[in-house]
Chains A and B, each alone.
Chain A
Amino acid sequence: MLRVSSSRDLWAGLIYLAIGAAGLWFGWAYPMGTAGRMGSGYFPKVLAALLIGFGVLGVMRSVTIESPAITPISWRPLVLVLLACMLFALLLEPAGFIVATAVFGLTCAAASQQFKLDLMSLLGLAALITVCALVFVVGLGIPMPLVGPWLEPAVSLLPFKR
C-alpha cells in the first residue's frame, strides 16, 4: 500500500498535470509544423507535454519523499480579498471610482480578523479615496469615471454642479 508522504508534491503534480492537459486540449488544433519550420502549436504543445511529465514525476515523488503537511487554508482572507478585487472590477465602470474603491476597501479590510468598522477606519478609507481620486483620476488622467452612469441621475439632483 502506497502512502502519500508529501501531499505538497501530490497537489503540485496534479496542478502541473491539469495545466499541461488543458494546454494540449485547447491547443490541439494549433499547427505543429516541423522542427525546422515550427508552427504556432509546436512550442506550447511541447511545453504542455513537458508539464504533464513534471506532473507525473510530482505524483511519483509524493510517495517517495517526505515533506511537511500543507497548512490549512484560511478561507476568510482568501474569499474576501479576491471578492473585493472582483467587486472593484465589476463596479468601476458602471458605478464609478468612488463607489468601487469604497466597496473594495471595506470588503478587503473585512478580511482581517481584527476588522472593526470604527470612525478611524472610515476616515482612513475616505482619505484613501480622495487621494487616489486626485492623484490618479484628476492628476494623471487615468480614464476611470469618478461617478459612473448608475449614479449620474443621483448626482444631477444634487444642488451643485460638478
Chain B
Amino acid sequence: MDIFANLWLGLSVAVTPINLWWCLVGCFLGTAIGVLPGLGPTATIAMLLPATFALEPVSALIMMAGIFYGAQYGGSTTAILVNLPGEVTSVVTALDGYKMARQGAAGRALAAAAISSFFAGTVCTVLIALFAPPISEMAGQFGPAEYFSLMVLGLVAAVVLANGSVFHALAMIVLGLFLGSVGTDVTSGTQRYAFGYPDLADGLNFVVVAMGIFGIAEIISNLEEGGDTELEVAPVKGLMPTREDWSRMIPSMLRGTTIGALLGVLPGAGGAMASFAAYAFEKKASKNGHLLGTGVIEGIASPEAANNAGAQMSFVPMLTLGLPANPVMALMIGAMIVKNIVPGPTVMTAEPALFWGLIASMWVGNAMLLALNLPLIGIWVRMIQVPYRYLFPMIAVFCAIGVFSLSNTVFDLYIMVAFGLFGYVLKKLGCEPAPMLFGFVLGAAMEEYLRRTLLISHGDPSVLVTRPISAALLGLSAICLALILLPAFRKTRAEAA
C-alpha cells in the first residue's frame, strides 16, 4: 500500500538530525511560550518568521508545527498549576486540573494531560496520513447553516459545564453571548457597544476576559482573610498516574480523541469547541461523570486529548487546500509562499517529501513533547510549593504582560481589571464563569453564521431544518437540552415542595 511508502518517506525526512533538531527547538519554544499566558504561538512564530527564511522549507515548517502543538501542551500546565487558562481550550482543563493541584495531585494531573495529548496526537497523525483528502471533503459539507446548528449544540453542551444551578448556567451563557456582540458587527460593519473606542472595534479579546475572570479574580479570592495562609498546597503524592488512574484515563482519552478529531476538521469553530464538547460528553458518558469538576483525572484526560486531536486535525485544511484554519496555519502558509512553494491541493503531489515529512514530524514532535514534559513535572510541582505570597505577584505580572502583548496596547489591561472585578463578584455569588466564557467564544461567530445563512437563503430560515446535517445537529441539541432540563426541573420542584 502507498500509505506505508509515504509514511516511510515522511519518517526518513523527519528523523534526519537537522529536522529532529528543529523539531526539538520548536517543541521546547512552544512549551515555554504555552506556559506563559497571553503570549501565544502566533506571536512567537511571527517573530521567528524571518529567522526561518534561512532554513530548508521542511525544517521551518516542522519547527513551526512544533511550536504550535508545544504551546498546546504548555497551555495546560499553567491552567492546572495556577488556574490560568491562556487559551480557550484550556479553560476546561483548569476546572479539574486546578482542583487536583490543590489536592496535591498536580503531578498526576500534569502527567495525565501530557499522556492524553500524546495519545491523541498519535491517533490523529495516522488519521491525517490515511484520510486527509476525504476529511477535507467532509468539512466542505459544512456551510453557514451547519456551523450555526453545530454551535447551538455546543451551547447546550455548555450548560453541562456548570456544577451548580442550571438557571445561573443558562443566564451566564446568555451573558457571554451578549458580551460577544461587542465590537464591529461583521455582517453590517457597524460598531456595537464600542462607545467610540477604536480599541473595542474588534470586540473583547478572549484572553483578556479569561485572565481577568480566572487569573485576577482567583488571586483576589485566594487572598481573602487569612486565605493565603491556608492555601499551602497539600503535600504531593506521587508524580505519575497510578494503575487506577490509567484504567480511568484510557476510556476518557478515547472519547476525547474521537470528539476532538471530528470537531477539529472544521476550521475555526472546531478547535475551540473540541475540549468543551469532550468535557460535557464526559460528564454524561463516564461512570465518574458526576464527580467532574471536583478534581478527577477524567476531567483532564478527555478535554486534553480532544484539544490536541483538534489542534492536529486543524492541519488538514491547510495541507490539503492551502486554507488556514487559524492564524498559526496562516503563518505556515506564509512561510511556504516565501519559500516558493504554492500552498494548496498540489503540495501533496508536488512536494511529497515536505508533505509527508511534516506529517511524520507531528508524531515525532508529540513523542518529544512527552519526553520533554514528563521530567519537567517534578520542577513544575516544586514551583507551586513556593509560598503563595511570593507566587501571586509573579502570576499577576505574567497575566499583565501576557495581556499587553496580545495587541500591544494598555487598553486591554483596563478591560482585564474590569473583568477581574466582575469575576470576583461572580465568585461571591456562586455563579460559575465557564459557561459564560463559552457563550462569549461562540456568541459572535454564532450570530455571524446565522445572519450569513439568512443572507444566502434570502431571508428564509427553513434551510436550517431542510439541510440534513443542520437538521440532525439541531435535533440532537433539542434532545440534549430536554435531557438536561427535565431532571433539573424536577429537582427544583422537589425543593419547592
Contacts and interface: CB of A to CB of B under 8 A. Distances in A.
Nearest to B171: A54
A147 interface: no
Nearest to B431: A12
A112 B228 contact: yes
A19 B182 CA distance: 13
The A interface is mostly helix, strand or loop, or mixed, namely helix
Nearest to A64: B496
Contacts of A77: 219-220, 223-224
Interface string B93-115: 00000000000000000000000
A35 interface: yes
Nearest to A37: B459
Contact of B187 (A12, A40, A57, A93): A40
B393 A88 contact: no
B430 A19 contact: no
Nearest to B444: A43
A143 B193 CA distance: 28
Given A37-B459, A58-B167, A70-B429, A78 B424 contact: yes
A47 B447 CA distance: 11
Interface stretch (B117-125, B405-413, B472-480): B405-413
A96 interface: no
A10 B420 CA distance: 21
B440 to A, nearest CB: 12
Contact of A12 (B171, B181, B450, B460): B171
Given A92-B410, A142-B404, 8 more contacts: A40-B190, A43-B447, A44-B193, A65-B492, A72-B225, A74-B220, A82-B420, A111-B220
Interface of B: 39, 43-44, 47, 167-168, 170-171, 174-175, 177-178, 181, 185, 187-188, 190, 192-193, 195, 216, 219-220, 223-229, 388-390, 392-394, 396-397, 400-401, 404-405, 408, 410, 413-414, 416-417, 420-421, 424-425, 428-431, 447, 450-451, 454-455, 459-461, 492, 495-496
26 contacts: A12-B171, A27-B193, A36-B461, A38-B450, A41-B192, A47-B177, A47-B178, A51-B174, A51-B178, A58-B168, A58-B171, A61-B167, A64-B496, A65-B496, A70-B428, A70-B429, A71-B224, A78-B424, A81-B219, A81-B223, A82-B220, A88-B413, A104-B400, A113-B223, A115-B389, A143-B408
